[in-house]
């Protein structure tokens, strides 16, 4: 199980670097929407970025709990004995797919973003009402909406959380995923140029993908 949580953190960490272009543009808009006195004071700016991310984390954990609960029902509908192995194989396959995606070998995983488009069409207007962000509470609420932004990597992580077949481990898995995204998302507003160079480096992306594939296969072996 600890291997799965480490993998969740790494998916978030490397995946956020891969998607830094999209997340960076959002952070850019949010940062510019802040009053000048906040933007010119790094401690206050970082605190608002952290509130954005805390909101995202809350949404990820909620989604992970729901996915894990659904997976629990699926587990028992298959069979309590064999269902665990079925979901473990599914989770491993998805994690390998994410590894291939990060390495640039399976770009079609991005098509999963279409799954969340109907939900986002309803939530996006609510986010617009919170702009410009002037307080930490607004930043937290905007982050909670931002957490439902269509993203292939988030959906992949959610399917892995579902495959755990437990609401608690599903929530923890998505919490670790969200923690992994913090350095890139918060750092984008502070040292964006360096992050973009890392994100565009094919070797870094390839090694990140290979690490995830190895972790996925190792997790399958020790949990079988």
> How does pLDDT run across 94-115, given as a tens digit for each residue?
888 888 888 888 877 767 767 7
The yes-or-no verdict on residue 64 having pLDDT over 90 is yes
Over range 167-195, report the average pLDDT: 79
Tell me which DSSP letter residue 164 carries: T
pLDDT-derived band at 209 (thresholds 50, 70, 90) equals confident
The yes-or-no verdict on residue 116 having pLDDT over 60 is yes
> How does pLDDT run across 19-61, given as a tens digit for each residue?
665 565 666 667 777 777 777 787 887 888 889 889 999 999 9
Over range 146-167, report the average pLDDT: 85
Higher pLDDT, 180 or 15: 180
Whether 153 contacts 18, CB under 8 Å? yes
Q: Which of 49-58, 161-170, 201-210 has the lowest mean pLDDT?
A: 201-210
**For the chain, what percent of residues have pLDDT higher than 70?**
85
At 89 the pLDDT is: 86
Containing domain of residue 100, as a range? 2-223
**Tokens in use for 218?**
């190792």
d(CA 133, CA 120): 20
The yes-or-no verdict on residue 143 having pLDDT over 80 is yes
3-state secondary structure of 224: coil
Over range 125-140, report the average pLDDT: 85
Higher pLDDT, 199 or 92: 92
> How does pLDDT run across 3-13, given as a tens digit for each residue?
788 888 988 88
pLDDT-derived band at 141 (thresholds 50, 70, 90) equals very high
Tell me the pLDDT of the chain averaged across its residues: 81
At 21 the pLDDT is: 57
The total of structural domains in the chain comes to 1
- The alpha carbon dihedral of 184, 185, 186, 188 has a sign of positive
Cis peptide before 132 (omega within 30 of 0): yes
């Amino acid at each position: 199980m600890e291997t799965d949580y480490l993998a969740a953190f790494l998916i978030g960490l490397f995946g956020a670097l891969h998607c830094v272009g999209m997340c960076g543009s959002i952070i850019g808009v949010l940062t510019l929407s802040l009053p000048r006195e906040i933007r010119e004071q790094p401690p206050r700016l970082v605190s608002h970025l952290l509130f954005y991310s805390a909101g995202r984390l809350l949404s990820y954990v909620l989604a992970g709990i729901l996915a894990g609960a659904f997976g629990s029902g699926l587990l028992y509908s298959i069979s309590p004995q064999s269902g665990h192995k079925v979901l473990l194989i599914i989770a491993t396959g998805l994690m390998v797919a994410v590894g291939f995606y990060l390495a640039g070998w399976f770009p079609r995983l991005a098509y999963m973003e279409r799954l969340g488009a109907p939900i986002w069409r309803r939530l996006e207007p609510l986010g617009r009402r919170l702009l410009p962000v002037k307080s930490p509470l607004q930043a937290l609420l905007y982050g909670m909406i931002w957490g439902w932004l269509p993203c292939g990597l988030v959906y992949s992580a959610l399917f892995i959380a579902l495959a755990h077949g437990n609401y608690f481990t599903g929530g923890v898995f998505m919490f670790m995923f969200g923690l992994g995204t913090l350095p890139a998302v918060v750092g984008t507003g502070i040292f964006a140029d360096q992050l973009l160079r890392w994100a565009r480096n094919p070797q870094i992306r390839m090694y990140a993908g290979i690490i995830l594939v190895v972790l996925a296969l190792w997790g399958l072996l020790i949990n079988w």
